[in-house]
Structure 1
Amino acid sequence: MGIADIYKRLNPQTSEYLVYIVKDLNEQQKDLLASELNELTDKELYSAISILTRLSSKQISSIIHKHELGGPLLIMGDSVANKRMILAHRIAYLIVVRGIKPEEILGITFTNQAAGYIIDMVSSLLPDKVLIDMNIGTFHSTAMRILNEESFGNVNLQKLGYKKTPFYRVIIAHERILLLKRSIKEAGFDEKETPLTTAMEEISKAKINLLPPEEYEKKATEKMSKN
Structure 2
Amino acid sequence: MVNFEKQSTFKMSNQEEQLNALKDIRQMMDRSSRFISLSGLSGVFAGVIALIGAYFAHDEINKFINKRGYGYGIDGEMDLEFNLIKLGIFVLIIALAGGILFTYRKSQKNNLPIWDKTSKSLLVNLFIPLAAGGLFIIALLINHPNTYSIIAPSCLIFYGLALINASKFTYSDIRYLGFCEVVLGLICMFYAGYGLIFWAFGFGVLHIVYGLLMYFKYERGQ
Q: What TM-score do you get using the length of structure 1 for normalisation?
A: 0.23
Q: Relative contact order: is structure 1 or structure 2 higher (C-alpha 8 Å, sep ≥ 6)?
A: 2
Q: Which has the larger radius of gyration?
A: 1
Write 1 or 2 for the structure with the bigger share of helix. Answer: 2
